[in-house]
Amino acid sequence: MVWVTRLQDLATTTDAVRRTSSRKAKTELLADLLRRLAPEEIEAAVGFLMAKPRQGAIGVGWATVAGLGEIGEAGLDDGSTGGESPYPPTVLGLDALLSEILATTGSGSVGARSELLTRFLAGCEDDEVEFVKRVLIGEARQGALAGVVTEAGAKAAGVKAAAMRRGAMLQGDLGEAIRVAIVDGADGLDAIDLEVQRPIQPMLASTAADVAEALDATGPEAAAVEWKFDGARIQVHVSRHGGGSNRDRSVSIYTRNLNRVTDRLGVVQAVVEQLACDSAVLDGEVLGFFGDDESPGRFQDTISVFATRGGDDSEGSGGGGGLQPYFFDLMYLDGESLIDRPLSERSAALRDLAEASGLSDVLIPQVFTSDPDAAQAHLDAALDAGHEGVMVKAADGLYEAGRRGKSWRKVKPVHTLDLVVLGAEWGHGRRRGRLSNLHLGARDGDTGDFVMVGKTFKGLTDELLAWQTEQFLARKLSESEQPGRHTVMIRPDMVVEIALDGAQRSTRYPGGVALRFARVKSYRSDKSADDADTIDTVRKLL
């Protein structure tokens, strides 16, 4: 194994990135770092820069990190006697350590993980110790978010940012895409293509105030207007392997964050196994139906069934909360990638596939029109059916990920924003002992930092208060007390959907804007902080 770049190099760079507000400067600093890395280090280093190790959640929380004591050049102060760490304080050393920590499970694993980490940090310089701690608790969000790192990777490799975004989308991993670009150049990046059973980053939508504005943004030609569900995004990969009559079908289901959840969604598997094709990649939603009238549920209701019963509908949907998959895009079919085909062609191919399979009822209702009145009628029908609104999509749009472009626009009568929880205040009265008043932040699209835009304690049930208190304390970064206010600041990785009546100018918050009558709609466990709305989106509500 190559032990090349010390963590100190990453620590110094991220400190410099954190101190500048210039997106260009951040990009140049990170690009210079990426150029210095050995190819074997790039994927792991990119994860550390974004506080998203490639191992994912490794089970080391704030409490463990806070209990490590002062470690660094002074050595250990917690009585550890485990000897030196087998891993040096380098990029790959930390990567190997995290893999071992992840594999350390069972009885006594908490102490064993703490021991592994303590021994590793004993060999680190002080700035390396702080860097590792920030990575572990997700606090290394010093502006090195996906957009900035994507641009830095493109600059380091000498390729266009659009090519890097496409490569990352198809690879499903930004770090690996950057490694390919730096090692193999533009040709290597262009060679990355969609592969069945390898998830790709999903395409995202911007917002529009109404259907007329959305149609204007998507262009003069007829656009696709689709019902918008308040469900959980899924990406489904279907393939056959073997030969002759012994071919077996493989189905893989991924969340919006590309987590594999196939074994939790048997109801989806049962549907897609009926597809009349050899291979396909589909984009869609899982939606729950609840109550005697089987009304479409809210996201938190759907995700609750998703988590507890895994979509098993054996109890029946009436009153029990059954899940149903719906699809709105087809990116691959029988050996051919469709992502470079216009939406009109992808929609036609999806419709033909569904009809041939006898599955027309799993298509999200869609019309193509350039008429605002017809689009409004489709929106009204969606609302009458209990759904959120509509999506308006350019008919000539390709399937692209990495940024919110104008090709897809969401229209919802009630203003909603996906914001990041920065902290919360301890409640009073019946909410005593619960973290209640949320501090809400939007992304700064230029710097990658979070800008506070308001607070809210509305829309929180007793059950949600108890749940979020547990979640916030597991992410605690600091705690402060001021007259009448006791605040816990947390790791900014929880996205909450906020309903609001609008926004107003304000000098109270750094972004110069404040939310009006904000209330919690639901927590979006399917979204990361990189998916949160930007401060520019909030300002458009002024």
Report the alpha-carbon distance of residue 511 to residue 444 in Å, rounded: 9
DSSP symbols for 37-54: S-GGGHHHHHHHHTT--T
458 is catalytic: no
Measure Cα distances from 412 to 191, 379, 502 in Å: 39, 9, 13
CA–CA separation, 499 vs 518, rounded Å? Answer: 6
**Positive or negative CA dihedral for 273, 274, 277, 278?**
positive
- Alpha-carbon span 200 to 39, nearest angstrom: 22
- 3-class SS at 200? coil
**C-alpha angle with apex 73: 72 to 75, nearest 5 degrees?**
70
Per the residue annotation, which of 228, 410, 412, 527 is the catalytic one?
A: 228
Cα distances from 151 to residues 100, 298, 399, 534, in angstroms, run: 32, 36, 20, 18
DSSP annotation of 535 reads H
Q: Are 456 and 438 in contact (CB under 8 A)?
A: yes
Residue-level length of the chain: 542
* Contact by Cβ (8 Å): 291, 317: no
Copy the structure tokens of residue 198.
Answer: 């390898």
Residues near 371 by beta carbon (within 8 Å), at least 6 away in sequence: none
Which amino acids are annotated catalytic? 228
